[in-house]
Chains A and B, each alone.
Chain A
Amino acid sequence: MNMETVLLLRQEISILIIALLLLIFEIFAGDRQKEGVVSLTIILFALHTGIGFLDMKEGLLFGGMFRTNALIHLFKNILNIGVLIVLLQSAEWVKRELVPQHRGSEFFILLLSSLLGLQFLISSGDFLMFYLGLELSTLPLAALSAFEMYRRRSSEAGIKLILSSALASGITLFGISLMYASTGTIYFAEMGTLISENNLTVMALILFFAGLGFKISLVPFHFWTADVYEGAPIGVASYLSVISKGAAVFILMIFFFTVLKPLIHLWENLFYLLAVLTMFLGNLFALRQQNMKRFLAFSSIAQAGFILLGLITGTTLGVATVIYFVLIYIFSNLAAFGVVQAISTETGKENMRDYEGLYRTNPKLSLVMMLGLFSLAGIPPVAGFFGKFFLFTAAASKGYYFLVFLAVVNVTISLYYYLLVVRAMFLRKSDHPIPHFTNALYMRIGLVITVVGILALGLYSPIYDYIYALSNTLN
């Protein structure tokens, strides 16, 4: 392993080191010091995130299996920021629930392994690395979903995730083998030139897509989402909803915009259909949810439908708007999940009904929640509005006016249910509101970052300019 390799694999190696350090810590720390694992992880990971912003070389490794460039590096940094927020928001829960059982470091190690898998996934240059990354990112998540073993729902979530993902992986693998059969290569770079339109390739495309559709929770591959989010620990659910989804969107974009670009006239139909189905079903199901985690699960399905509006374009503009949207979505969704996490950790309450009158007792939390939901709903001038507006403009620029119209209809539907929560918090009175409480330091930092992110992304344009400039490098 020479220096070049180390530099190109910097992100992955750094995550691995943190995981190993945590393992060592777990072995050597005394019972009283076990709680330190939380701070240790967060400090190390914050360092890792910060270092990630240093400049990175471009290049290929292992004969093209692994590749990295400025855009992929940006993807990894986005994921890092998201995971940092998830860690901050889960810290208090880990301290209270897991550390006494000596399972704190286990939780973090599994989470980081999954992140490692995602990093490999988006850096993959061939199907082998792709598949390894996919599995490495999913398997720890099944364990994490079932982490609260004593709760029936949690183990159920674990089982459902592992079964569904096994099915998805199987289908994807089948797709990969057909792709290999039709082109004779597993390297993305070569495949792009060899690919041709025939039934075998089309079949391969569909099957391959199903696996990623599963990760992004597109209809009809979405059924696991609500059950798993509801049962899994909240930190894991928020990780699933933003990090694992975001990474899958990124690799989908890389693969379809480069390798499968010649077939765009085929897969644009696929994206069109699934965008419509996903937006409508996600929104219609979300209308009726009472449990906040299920509610956010369906909202995240609907949001995935919006992302397809950018993906359908296959243009540089599409790339830029999708990245921008995902970035905003990460902050907005984590703001909402963070508040749910804070309240659940403190009181164990997770239903919308319990949120009635929250503004009177915990004004700051409800303001964060409102900001997050407004951003998800796309109310100007919050960042989420720009994210959606840009996506729609990208789709309109390719002439998908009817699709944009349907999307705007969906924005209106979604606004209704996001406002239901806001109304419960601000306008309803409750006899038993959640009492006032003070959040732990890490939780507060985690929420503040999301708020700053939501505001900065909407008001500070250089971020979008930077993304837009980098987007050219994909094609």
Chain B
Amino acid sequence: MNYTAIILIPLIPLAVFLVLGLFNRKIGPGVSGLVGVGGMLVSTLLSFYTAFEYFMVLGKVSGAYPTLVESTVWMNFTETLRIDMGVLIDPISVMMLIVVSTISLMVHIYSRGYMKGDEGYTKFFSFLSLFTFSMYGLVLATNLFQIYIFWELVGVSSYLLIGYYYTKESAVAAAKKAFIVTRFADLGFLIGILLIGYYTGTYDFETLNNPEGATLTHWAPASFMGLSVLTWGLILIFIGGAGKSAMFPLHIWLPDAMEGPTPVSALIHAATMVVAGVFLVARLFPMYFFVEEGFALQIVAFVGAFSALFAAVIALTQTDIKRVLAYSTMSQLGYMMLALGVSGYEGSQGLGYMSSMFHLFTHAMFKALLFLCAGSVIHAVHSNYLKDMGQLRKYMPITHLSFLVAALAIAGIPPFAGFWSKDEILVAVYQQNTFLYVVGIFVAGLTALYIFRIYFGIFWGKDNTYEHRPAESPASMTVPLIVLAVLSATVGFIPFSEFISPDRAGFDAHIDIPMAITAVAVALIGIGIAWMLYKKESGLATRLTDRLGVLYTWAHRKFYMDEVYLFVTKNILFKGIAAGAAWADRKIVDGTMNLIGNSTVLFSKKIKGMQSGRVQDYAMAFVSGTVILALLFIYLWTS
């Protein structure tokens, strides 16, 4: 392997960040855009070169893809515990390199059009580069400590980018919220690292994950509340991952994060940073699987399933299209966690793991595409709300078709990418747990419903009168759309299971026909409902009848017959349950977080009186403090 090339991949964005950041004022917008895109292009080429070399040239060594580590000792903490810095190459890190590079490059190109004329153009590109660098570092990390450092750096750059429109009060608040919530989650991560580092004496993934190694064969026995210390460590680490990957109840920052510029949402809050939590669990998968028979892994599965369902229901109620996409992301991340949670380790048992990574890969493509399309729409109509959109397919054909491809992909319609990965997930879940499978298939239906709801709302629906006639976005924005649309349509055909599996050996995965038919049928039902509810809401009935003929008449009559049913779904399901869930999300989950914050501030106000400014009070406190301590000592602590 060519390690120079691999190390250059993160270093190029770092260099771009430093150049653009330090010479902010001296570099014109044109140059900074080119520097950003150029640097990203080189990194992308190197990533693909690395992938080619790893999978094709190097290939399997004695039946499995090897883990290659190149690192130097950074700090020796004690004689036994040390901290390294380096790069780790294995199938999932190579896959993540491809994801990060592709999406980041597309977003860089797109931003040249989207951010045109913005006063902080250069600053924006420097932040993007900082983020990309941190993300590469996270993906390539060789040990827990390194991944934590980049984890935080990713958090900081996300904070900067969410709060990019710093004059907007809501953006600043959203940035703060994202930072604080993920910090609380990282608190768990940090303690988890401390626990694992201390009990195993290493931070290195390779040593920790070795199925024959001491860590996994002799995991520390039960100690606290009947669970092994390592299980606690893994649960705490999962809390960190849940914060980044917006799992319930740590998801509350994600919808607000949509205040950032849309390309940022596409890059960070759809394709890359938010999957870091999934990646983290996958990175430590052997630990999750072997320690205490996978107790922690079950938690992952259930949290994932619940988040998937919860978010999908809420997505139905949102009117801001970016928020719909945000909840949709949360829901899809829940899928990935669920798949990891039900996965086995050896051979085709690892279907869940493989399908999770597969879905991560395909989701990155089509979700980034959805966001970029949404950005293109928002760019044209200057609003995030569905009520200001409608009939846009006439004005923006490329955006429309791209969005349609992405929507079909996320809904799981063959042959688009999402079908293949989602099908594998459902098969994996079905093999393990029927209840979770039912949840999964239900969410699949909801997914199709909410995504086509906004699709119809944006591109069909009512005929809005626009003040400025909306126009298709410039080429810098549509080219990435086309590229991603092609990818969303095709990447499903990659034989993922040959490259990625928990034991690295690869296996043959094949489509389970009955499962696939069920899933597609459910998705089609979802799309059908969306079509009935949202497409013909305006006075287009006649034209639609002309175009769709029998199909429409049938739907129309069906609608008439099923008025009661629709009443039930619309009023009880949507207004009752979904709105209720949205309310609970806003008031209870959000409220609790706010309560923690506010009560800290309030308590801080209350104790103000202690610092009176009078030196005699201080002396009093000093002496009485000493006396109390002495009493505590004598009566409590001495035997």
Contact = CB atoms under 8 A, between A and B. Distances in A.
A85 B618 CA distance: 31
Given A266-B633, A379-B152, A408-B187, A202 B621 contact: no
A59 interface: no
Contacts of B75: 386, 461, 464-465
Interface string B603-615: 1110110010101
A195 interface: no
A199 B191 CA distance: 37
A221 B604 contact: no
A168 B622 contact: yes
Contact of A396 (B194, B603, B622): B194
Contacts of A468: 76, 78
B618 A223 contact: yes
Given A288-B604, A379-B152, A380-B149, A206 B622 contact: no
| Max chain B C-beta neighbours (<10 A), residue from A220, A221, A409, A468 | A220
A220 B622 contact: yes
B81 to A, nearest CB: 8
Given A220-B621, A380-B152, A412-B187, A266 B638 contact: yes
Contacts of A147: none
A224 interface: yes
B331 to A, nearest CB: 28
Nearest to B73: A461
Nearest to A220: B625
A415 interface: yes
B568 interface: no
A340 to B, nearest CB: 20
Contact of A227 (B176, B613, B622, B624): B613
Interface residues of B, number: 56
A393 B630 contact: no
Interface in A204-221: 205-207, 210, 214, 219-221
Contacts of A71: none
Contact of A393 (B152, B197, B604, B608): B197
Interface in A5-46: none
Contacts of B81: 393
A397 B191 contact: no
Given A381-B153, A412-B184, A468-B76, A270 B629 contact: yes
B190 interface: yes
Contact of B600 (A214, A284, A380, A411): A284
Contact of B633 (A202, A396, A408): A202
B187 A167 contact: no
B76 A207 contact: no
Contacts of B180: 412, 416
A419 B597 CA distance: 15
B623 A427 contact: no
What is the predominant secondary structure among interface residues of chain B facing chain A?
helix
A227 B615 CA distance: 10
A122 B122 CA distance: 52
A164 interface: yes
A173 interface: no
A171 B77 contact: no
Contacts of A48: none
Contact of A167 (B148, B194, B605, B619): B619
A199 B73 contact: no
Contacts of A270: 629, 633, 637
A285 B622 contact: no
A269 interface: yes
A197 B634 CA distance: 11
A159 interface: yes
A432 B180 CA distance: 30
B622 A221 contact: yes
A226 interface: yes
B477 to A, nearest CB: 28
Nearest to A198: B638
A324 to B, nearest CB: 10
Contacts of B460: none
A390 B78 CA distance: 10
A390 B194 CA distance: 9
A296 B615 CA distance: 20
A281 interface: yes
Contacts of B191: 401, 404-405, 408
A202 B608 contact: no
Interface string B139-157: 0000001001100110010
Contact of A381 (B149, B187, B190): B149
B163 A380 contact: no
Contacts of A206: 626, 629-630, 633
B183 interface: yes
Interface in B580-639: 600-601, 603-605, 607-608, 611, 613, 615, 617-619, 621-626, 629-630, 632-634, 636-638
Contacts of B198: 393, 396-397
21 contacts: A168-B622, A202-B634, A203-B630, A205-B633, A220-B622, A224-B615, A227-B613, A281-B607, A284-B600, A285-B604, A285-B611, A288-B604, A379-B152, A390-B77, A405-B191, A408-B187, A408-B190, A416-B180, A461-B74, A461-B76, A468-B78
Counting from the closest, the 6 A-B pairs by CB-CB distance are A220-B625, A223-B618, A461-B75, A380-B149, A284-B604, A287-B604
Interface of B: 73-78, 81, 145, 148-149, 152-153, 156, 163, 166-167, 172, 176, 179-180, 183-184, 187, 190-191, 194-195, 197-198, 600-601, 603-605, 607-608, 611, 613, 615, 617-619, 621-626, 629-630, 632-634, 636-638
